[in-house]
Structure 1
Amino acid sequence: MPENKTTKPMSHVLVVSADAGWRDEVVAGINAAAQKLDNPFDLLAVPAADAGAAVAAVRADGDVQIVLIDHGDHAPAARSGKGAARHQDVAAMAQEIIALRPELSLYVTLEDDENKLLLEQLASNVVHGYFYRGEHDFAGWARILAAEIAEKSATPFYDELKNYVRMAKDSWHTPGHAGGDSYKGSPWVGDFYDFAGENLLRADLSVSVEMLDSLLHPTGVIVQAQRLAAQAFGARKTYFATNGTSTANKVIFQTLLAPGDKMLLDRNCHKSVHHGVILSGAQPVYLDSSVNRKYGLFGPVPRATVLAAIEQHPDARVLILTSCTYDGLRYDLKPIIEAAHAAGIKVIVDEAWYGHARFHPELRPTALESGADYCTQSTHKVLSAFSQASMIHVNDPLFDEHLFRENFNMHASTSPQYNLIASLDVARKQAVMEGYRLLDRSLKYAQELREKINATGVFRALELADLLPEELANDGIRLDPTKITIDITASGFSSDELREELFERFNIQVEKSTHNTLTLLLTVGTTRSKVSRLFDALLRLAKERRPERTSARMPELPHFTRLACLPRDAFYEYGERIPLLDEQGQPNAALAGRVCCDQITPYPPGIPVLVPGQVITPEIIAFLTRIMRMQKSIEMHGLATHDGEPCLRVLAPGELEAMASRTVL
């Protein structure tokens, strides 16, 4: 099976020492030794004279994989007053480098074991290994450093999957296409074999292949791959999920919450979070999100609202927040998490759109670095995993792995797609080995693209101040620069028209839109050519500007009302369907005061207007009616139909009362 031709990786070892003679000798010695090794990672030592130069090099050179810090130039200094200061200097340098790029490996040279004991006290959590300064065993050093890179860049599951495909075993097991053989030669579906590719089909295998481990009960290569992912993302434990972050959220909910347990959640959570509330039987306390009414964007929950909810509900077991939002707004999480922990509340952060943040200092701190107990990430959204491939990261010191596994297996398929698991393994490797360089490039493209968009004189890239609802002004909210929201108002195009023009004429597909914005997503896969083509398209469309349309705003989302019962209980009732509109085509007053059985969600943005168990008000009925009339491009998830008419499923008379008397046998 031929391998794809790729550029050979580069791996720089940054040697930091104020002793120029020693530094030059080490650099030359490691490089000479590396030339004699197999050296598949192109190991190359490069010099830095001091901490400032080292930090600058780490910022500028995305190929730096290891930093070797010289502890000192002679033993007596380590035993004098200067020695103690030198320990502090080395520890401070190590901490600064790791704070900048936590994926790097750090090695330190020592004079003696006394040095090691002192440094262990100061920086044991960031130093990966030590060399004795006077040994000058550069061949040995080079082998150890090469082994470090090999370990970091290993893809245990992907490698084993490739090995199995190379074995060319006959398939007498599932799946039925038998490695793609059912497609080959078919006059009807033979083209799918060429479209999908031989390796992808050969790697679509059954759980019968023991050497590829079991996602439901891993003991081999999947365990190894997940352990490497945990190290990369800063977690105690990491689990691969092949059903997306939607399932990951539900698994955590069912692990932490028993029926009736109270939880706090921002109302602008992804609908999977609200589904998790139903499945877990939890008692939710919904927190209204902030709203940018000019652009129809929903932001984080104001910090004061979250802190007040924590104070008012000390019996809550869980708080879940979404950071960053679809539009790139991210919480200042640390003070919120500290307040929750002080009240004994576990914190889950849905980082579906922020899985790349660990690998560039401009995007950190991550949720885990801010103290979150659980974090879910859609590794496929902004890193290089396949769609549906996600990760669950755990830092909860009281984590019950058995209970988690039981809930995980309840949701996971017993026939997981091995290509998805392999893509998670590969995405983690890429993030660790070149994520900083790729993200640095994406951030530069983002800044350049903002300038180019503004230069059209018609389209405008919105900044944090434009996106931030007024009530968040002092909350420390930051913007992920890789998500660009464009104000299209001055173009005279509607968002639907502009999306169609971009797609049909310029072969460009954007992420999402509101009535007057388009959203672009830059990732590790963004290229210079794509940036140029997008700018060219917007420049041409700017020249075709139309008369500016009458300003329209998205109808204001009504505030949350109240729950008449647990969402789970309302959802599982039969209910009855009542039309949204009356016979005159007006908002149906018969719905006022009734209890909704379903989650009603305009998409985009995907924030529920109603959740199961919520009492319906006239304001909510009017909002839904207006949305359906004014925003034709918005899908309304959760509406039932009866005789072709949109309806709400609500509790039937007597069902709410019956809940109170119901007993479980």
Structure 2
Amino acid sequence: MTPVSRVLIVSNDARWQASVLAGLNAAAAKLHNPLGLCFASVACSRDALAQVAHDGELQFVLLDKGLKEQGQTQPVVELANQLSALRPELSLYILLQDDDEKVLMETLASHAVDGYFYRDEQDFHGWFRILAAELAEKSATPFYDRLKLYVSMAKDSWHTPGHSGGDSFKNSPWVGDFYDFVGEEMLRADLSVSVPMLDSLLHPTGVIADAQTLAAKAFGARKTYFATNGTSTSNKVIFQTLLAPGDKLLLDRNCHKSVHHGVILSGALPVYLDSSVNRHYGIFGPVPKAVIFDAIAANPDARALILTSCTYDGLRYDLPPIVAAAHAAGIKVVVDEAWYGHARFHHALRPTALESGADYVTQSTHKVLSAFSQASMIHVNDPAFDEHLFRENFNMHASTSPQYNLIASLDVARKQAVTEGFRLLDRALKLAQELRQKINATGAFRVLELDDLLPDSVRDDGVRLDPTKLTVDISQAGYSADELQRALFERFNIQFEKSTFNTITLLLTVGTTRSKVSRLFDALLRLAKEQRPPRRLGRMPEIPGFTRLACLPRDAFYETGERLPLFDDEGRANPELSGRVCCDQIVPYPPGIPVLVPGQVIDDGIIAYLARLLKTQKRIEMHGLDEEGGEYRVRVLRAAELAALPGQAGAAARE
């Protein structure tokens, strides 16, 4: 299938424009054109902006420097900057009259301009070849292409992995079905570092380095690194790069558990910021701006601030003022953008964290773009970036036997994002709006809007909602979340993303189709027509506030401690835990927010909360508790261990 790659010519010199349009289309018809280059034109800035905002097949814009617009002295400069802000993945060329105009453009809009042609040369074959070459470079997949080439060479494998290109599965009466299920090409592409022509993820100098360079350009980063063990590990790598033991870190208590693990591994001293909470729906939102600004002011010695944007439910910070405040205090900003890696490629979703000035950004490319599970990216814009130190920490966590199919999927996902990401995301956004209307029309289900989701404490913080994440209120449908999940899965073959006690979350991505939307709507409509009476939905107990740290999380985690039961012999919450210092991270899932972190002092409210959860919320997974023989136990520091710990936090706890 040949793609369509449209080039838009913007000029109000009608005769010249017609000549250029005819010449370039003639070149496209005559010359080799595997990427489907074709040409169209508009006569003014307004029409150009309208086309760019809606045409998902557009790849280039050619601007006539002689463009005239009423009331504007430099209309091309203004338009170039507007187009760059609207669609940064597009390539922009200026058609000049002379070199003096080039100097002006370089001065006023060099960041937006990819190249120049001279207006009166009209070398249409030459222009076409240059555009075709740039598009070929932009859409190249260096690693994926080399991987395909190697597989096609059909080399005999005398190296790892042990299945030897799938030969151990083939024709086996026991596991031969796995060969058929996975496919020959996937197994042949499962290779190892024994193949030098495929480069090394731990020390890339060839096709992996090339693929990462293309990704950095696509996502607007100085440097980009591929990670094959998820954003969880990516967060830990950044922490260990930025933080030495004892360094202070500001972080959202609602961060992903990998962030809290990174605190332990780095030996950092965390300052936890309580996130906002929508108690009606059991949804955690951003940390209020005032809390962040106060924390920055109160901790001028902090090395880094990490925030999650957007959240699992699609709530995203107004990042630019937060980043500016942190940078003014000399604090690096890290943003976990695991759920927002698609935002660069549609203006309705921007600005991204990188565009807002963040120094480090982690993205789960597999969550919302087309990479395989575990495939993630680390983007770096820190002007003081220590690449050697980063590489040492990256290699500490990365496997020496990375899965090359994951690397290839990152390469391909980046190509798709820059060539057709806008078109696919535009479709997803339109389908999201359509699905909102259809779900609301059922009468039993309702999609929550930003105003419904926002906790009161962040209503004036400029928080925005990612429209591709739909949170649906099910409280009038007569189903519990568990019952609805079973009904959709067993009766209608539908699996949704997550749930709370009275909501479900639906995720729309570049892979969402109208057929899927139709099937989901039909399922919800059928369930609504059953007209079950609304039921009282029990809500989860309110998570207690953070108490205090008695010591560094790392110090508590690496002590042996002792394990005390959560319940006493009478089945009540064990009062002996009160005042003790926890050694582990204890996380009820959902919602996945730590109730306790290593080094945190346990109080009566926390004990009661954990006990109530375990007794009343049977579907909750409780990560971090020791369970043996049906008894739950909490690992806490012994008094002698706490007394022996260094640092002010430990001393304060002993007083």
TM-score range, shorter chain: over 0.9
Structure 2 residue 9 is matched with structure 1 residue 23 = no
Aligned 1:295-310 pairs, distance under 5 A: 295-310=281-296
Which deviations, in whole Å up to 9, do the C-alpha atoms of 1:68-111 show, x marking residues without a partner? Answer: 000117xxx9xxxx99965x211110111111110000000111
The CA distance in 2 between the partners of 1:70 and 1:227, in whole Å, is: 30
Partner of 2:478: 492
Structure 2 residue 122 is matched with structure 1 residue 128 = no
Aligned 1:148-297 pairs, distance under 5 A: 148-297=134-283
- Alpha carbons of 1:115 and 1:660: their partners in 2 closer, same or farther (altered >3 Å)? closer
Partner of 2:326: 340
Q: Is the 8 A contact 2:501 2:537 kept in 1?
A: no
Aligned 1:31-46 pairs, distance under 5 A: 31-46=25-40
Aligned 1:94-109 pairs, distance under 5 A: 94-109=80-95
The CA distance in 2 between the partners of 1:423 and 1:309, in whole Å, is: 40
Residue 37 of structure 1 and its aligned partner are, at CA, apart by: 1.4
Q: Is the 8 A contact 2:565 2:634 kept in 1?
A: yes
Partner of 1:312: 298
Which deviations, in whole Å up to 9, do the C-alpha atoms of 1:14-59 show, x marking residues without a partner? Answer: 0000111111111111110111111001100101111111111111
SS at match of 1:214: coil
The CA distance in 1 between the partners of 2:75 and 2:647, in whole Å, is: 69
SS at match of 1:484: strand
Q: Which moved more, 1:601-610 or 1:325-334?
A: 601-610
Aligned 1:291-440 pairs, distance under 5 A: 291-440=277-426
Partner of 1:634: 620
The CA distance in 1 between the partners of 2:21 and 2:197, in whole Å, is: 41
Q: Which amino acid aligns with 1:16?
A: V
Counterpart pick for 2:56 among 54, 62, 65: 62
Q: Is the 8 A contact 2:253 2:273 kept in 1?
A: yes
Q: Is the 8 A contact 1:293 1:554 kept in 2?
A: no
Q: Which amino acid aligns with 1:492?
A: G
Q: Is the 8 A contact 2:235 2:258 kept in 1?
A: yes
The CA distance in 1 between the partners of 2:122 and 2:72, in whole Å, is: 25
Which deviations, in whole Å up to 9, do the C-alpha atoms of 1:518-557 show, x marking residues without a partner? Answer: 0000000000110000000000111123222224322111
Partner of 1:531: 517
Which deviations, in whole Å up to 9, do the C-alpha atoms of 1:477-528 show, x marking residues without a partner? Answer: 0000000000000011100000000000000000000111000000000001
SS at match of 1:489: coil
Structure 2 residue 604 is matched with structure 1 residue 618 = yes
SS at match of 1:558: coil
The CA distance in 2 between the partners of 1:597 and 1:410, in whole Å, is: 24
What is the aligned length?
648
- Alpha carbons of 1:545 and 1:600: their partners in 2 closer, same or farther (altered >3 Å)? farther
Q: Which amino acid aligns with 2:247?
A: D
SS at match of 2:564: strand
Q: Which amino acid aligns with 1:40?
A: P
Partner of 1:549: 535
SS at match of 2:646: helix
Q: Which moved more, 1:173-182 or 1:31-40?
A: 31-40
Q: Which amino acid aligns with 2:350?
A: R
SS at match of 1:44: strand
The CA distance in 2 between the partners of 1:162 and 1:288, in whole Å, is: 48
Partner of 1:3: none
The CA distance in 1 between the partners of 2:92 and 2:590, in whole Å, is: 45
Which deviations, in whole Å up to 9, do the C-alpha atoms of 1:145-192 show, x marking residues without a partner? Answer: 111110110000000000000000000000000000000010000000
The CA distance in 2 between the partners of 1:58 and 1:41, in whole Å, is: 19
Structure 2 residue 16 is matched with structure 1 residue 10 = no
SS at match of 2:645: helix
Residue 653 of structure 1 and its aligned partner are, at CA, apart by: 2.8
- Alpha carbons of 1:56 and 1:204: their partners in 2 closer, same or farther (altered >3 Å)? same
The CA distance in 2 between the partners of 1:597 and 1:634, in whole Å, is: 21
The CA distance in 1 between the partners of 2:182 and 2:448, in whole Å, is: 39
Unaligned runs of 5+ in 2: 649-655
SS at match of 1:660: coil
SS at match of 2:476: helix
Structure 2 residue 465 is matched with structure 1 residue 479 = yes
Structure 2 residue 132 is matched with structure 1 residue 146 = yes
Q: Which amino acid aligns with 2:377?
A: M
Residue 124 of structure 1 and its aligned partner are, at CA, apart by: 0.6
Partner of 2:568: 582
Q: Is the 8 A contact 1:577 1:642 kept in 2?
A: no
Residue 452 of structure 1 and its aligned partner are, at CA, apart by: 0.4
Residue 661 of structure 1 and its aligned partner are, at CA, apart by: 9.5
SS at match of 2:9: strand
Q: Is the 8 A contact 2:551 2:647 kept in 1?
A: no
Residue 229 of structure 1 and its aligned partner are, at CA, apart by: 0.3
Q: Which amino acid aligns with 1:253?
A: F
SS at match of 1:552: coil
SS at match of 2:301: coil
Q: Which amino acid aligns with 1:207?
A: V
Q: Is the 8 A contact 2:469 2:506 kept in 1?
A: yes
Q: Which amino acid aligns with 1:9?
A: P
Q: Is the 8 A contact 1:317 1:346 kept in 2?
A: yes
For the aligned residues, what is the CA RMSD?
A: 1.4
Which deviations, in whole Å up to 9, do the C-alpha atoms of 1:583-609 show, x marking residues without a partner? Answer: 111111110000000000011121100
The CA distance in 2 between the partners of 1:522 and 1:534, in whole Å, is: 12
The CA distance in 2 between the partners of 1:189 and 1:492, in whole Å, is: 45
The CA distance in 2 between the partners of 1:284 and 1:142, in whole Å, is: 56
SS at match of 2:224: strand
Q: Is the 8 A contact 1:579 1:642 kept in 2?
A: no
